[in-house]
Structure 1
Amino acid sequence: MGEETGGRSMYLIDGRRVMVSDLLAAGLIKAGAKLRFKRKRVGATFDATVTDNGRIRLEPAGEEFRSPSRAAMVAAGMRAVDGWRAWVVVDEGRLLDAVRQEFLDQTISTAAAATDQPTEDSTRHRIHEYLRQARRRADQQDPERISVRELLKLWGAKDRGDQVSQIEADLANHGLVTSPGFRAVTLDTVVSLTTPRDDPEEPTTAESVDIEDLPATEGDEEGSDLNVRLTVGNLTPLDEVASVSPNSGLEEAITTMLLNDFSQLAVLSGPRTMRGAVTWRSIALAMQQRPDARVADALVHAEVVTYDRDLFEVLPTLQQREFVFVMDESKAVKGIVTTADVAQRYGEMATPYFQVGELDQTLRWILSHALDISTVQKHCSRPVKSFNELGFGDYQRVLEKKDIWEKLGWPLDRQKFIVRLDEIREIRNKVMHFHPDPVSEEAIDMLRNFNSLLHRYRDPA
Structure 2
Amino acid sequence: MATASDDAGGRSMYLIDGRRVMVSDLLEAGLIRAGAKLRFRRNRIGVTYEATVTDQGRIRLEPDGEEFRSPSRAAVVAAGMHAVDGWRAWLVVDQDRLLDSVRQELLDRTISRTAAAARSEDDQDPQRVHERLRQARGHAEEGNPDRVTVRELLRIWGATDRGDQVSKIEADLANHGLVTSPSFRAVTLDSTVTLTTPRDEPEEAVTAALSGDDNGPAAEDDEADSSLNVRLTVGNISPLRGVESVGTHSPLKEAITKMVINDYSQLAVLNGPRNVRGAVTWRSIAQAMHQRCDASVADAIDTHVEVVTYDRDLFEVLPTLQQREFVFVTNVSKEVKGIVTTADVARRYGEMATPFFQLGELDQTLRWILSRAVDLPTVQPLCSRTIKNFNELGFGDYQRILGNREVWGKLDWPLDRQVFIDRLDAIRQLRNSIMHFHPDPVSDDAIATLRNFNSLLHQYRDPA
TM-score range, shorter chain: over 0.9
Give 3-state SS (helix, strand or coil) of 2:343's partner.
Answer: helix
- The correspondence of residues 14-413 of structure 1 with structure 2, limited to 5 A, is 14-115=17-118, 117-200=119-202, 208-209=217-218, 211-213=220-222, 221=223, 223-300=225-302, 301-413=304-416
**C-alpha separation between the residues in 2 aligned to 1:200 and 1:397?**
60
The C-alpha deviation readout for 1:70-89, integer Å capped at 9, x for no partner, is 11112122232211111111
**C-alpha separation between the residues in 2 aligned to 1:231 and 1:78?**
27
The C-alpha deviation readout for 1:30-83, integer Å capped at 9, x for no partner, is 111111112233332211100111111111111111111111112122232211
**C-alpha separation between the residues in 2 aligned to 1:118 and 1:440?**
29
Amino acid in the other structure paired with 2:14: Y
Residue pair 2:26, 2:103 contacting (<8 A) in 1 also: yes
Q: Any unmatched runs of 5+ in structure 1?
A: 214-220
The C-alpha deviation readout for 1:214-240, integer Å capped at 9, x for no partner, is xxxxxxx35224211110101111112
Shift of 1:211: 4.9
Residue pair 1:9, 1:104 contacting (<8 A) in 2 also: no
Shift of 1:291: 2.2
Amino acid in the other structure paired with 2:252: L
**Per the alignment, do residues 200 and 367 of structure 1 end up closer, same or farther by CA in structure 2, a change over 3 Å counting?**
farther
**C-alpha separation between the residues in 1 aligned to 2:166 and 2:366?**
32
Shift of 1:12: 2.0
Q: Would you say how many aligned residue pairs link Structure 1 and Structure 2?
A: 452
**C-alpha separation between the residues in 2 aligned to 1:276 and 1:357?**
44
**C-alpha separation between the residues in 2 aligned to 1:451 and 1:102?**
53
Shift of 1:198: 3.1
Residue pair 1:2, 1:114 contacting (<8 A) in 2 also: no
Residue pair 2:19, 2:171 contacting (<8 A) in 1 also: yes
**C-alpha separation between the residues in 2 aligned to 1:239 and 1:381?**
51
**Per the alignment, do residues 209 and 383 of structure 1 end up closer, same or farther by CA in structure 2, a change over 3 Å counting?**
farther
**C-alpha separation between the residues in 1 aligned to 2:219 and 2:428?**
34
Residue pair 2:84, 2:220 contacting (<8 A) in 1 also: no
Give 3-state SS (helix, strand or coil) of 2:327's partner.
Answer: strand
**C-alpha separation between the residues in 2 aligned to 1:402 and 1:106?**
54
The C-alpha deviation readout for 1:279-324, integer Å capped at 9, x for no partner, is 0111121122122221111111221101010000000110110000
**C-alpha separation between the residues in 1 aligned to 2:269 and 2:12?**
52
Residue pair 2:199, 2:219 contacting (<8 A) in 1 also: no
**C-alpha separation between the residues in 1 aligned to 2:244 and 2:194?**
23
**C-alpha separation between the residues in 2 aligned to 1:4 and 1:459?**
55
Give 3-state SS (helix, strand or coil) of 1:293's partner.
Answer: coil
The C-alpha deviation readout for 1:392-440, integer Å capped at 9, x for no partner, is 1111111111121111111111111111111211221222211100111
**Per the alignment, do residues 418 and 210 of structure 1 end up closer, same or farther by CA in structure 2, a change over 3 Å counting?**
farther
Structure 2 length-normalised TM: 0.94
**C-alpha separation between the residues in 1 aligned to 2:158 and 2:402?**
32
**C-alpha separation between the residues in 1 aligned to 2:44 and 2:322?**
45
Amino acid in the other structure paired with 1:103: L
Shift of 1:7: 2.7
The C-alpha deviation readout for 1:326-366, integer Å capped at 9, x for no partner, is 00111011100000000001111111111110111111111
Please name the residue that 1:446 is paired with: 449
**C-alpha separation between the residues in 2 aligned to 1:413 and 1:32?**
68
Residue pair 1:172, 1:210 contacting (<8 A) in 2 also: no
Q: Which moved more, 1:75-84 or 1:356-365?
A: 75-84
Amino acid in the other structure paired with 2:167: S
**C-alpha separation between the residues in 2 aligned to 1:212 and 1:429?**
31
**C-alpha separation between the residues in 2 aligned to 1:222 and 1:440?**
31
Instruction: Give the root-mean-square deviation of aligned CA atoms.
Output: 1.9
Structure 1 length-normalised TM: 0.94
Amino acid in the other structure paired with 2:141: D
The C-alpha deviation readout for 1:173-205, integer Å capped at 9, x for no partner, is 001011110011110001100110032477999
**Per the alignment, do residues 298 and 284 of structure 1 end up closer, same or farther by CA in structure 2, a change over 3 Å counting?**
same
Residue pair 2:366, 2:398 contacting (<8 A) in 1 also: yes
Please name the residue that 1:7 is paired with: 10
Residue pair 2:85, 2:220 contacting (<8 A) in 1 also: no
Share of identical aligned residues, percent?
72
Give 3-state SS (helix, strand or coil) of 1:146's partner.
Answer: strand
Amino acid in the other structure paired with 1:255: T
Residue pair 2:9, 2:113 contacting (<8 A) in 1 also: yes
Amino acid in the other structure paired with 2:268: A
**C-alpha separation between the residues in 2 aligned to 1:123 and 1:450?**
34
Shift of 1:91: 1.7
Shift of 1:157: 0.8
**Per the alignment, do residues 131 and 231 of structure 1 end up closer, same or farther by CA in structure 2, a change over 3 Å counting?**
same
**C-alpha separation between the residues in 2 aligned to 1:199 and 1:92?**
24
**Per the alignment, do residues 44 and 2 of structure 1 end up closer, same or farther by CA in structure 2, a change over 3 Å counting?**
farther
Shift of 1:156: 1.0
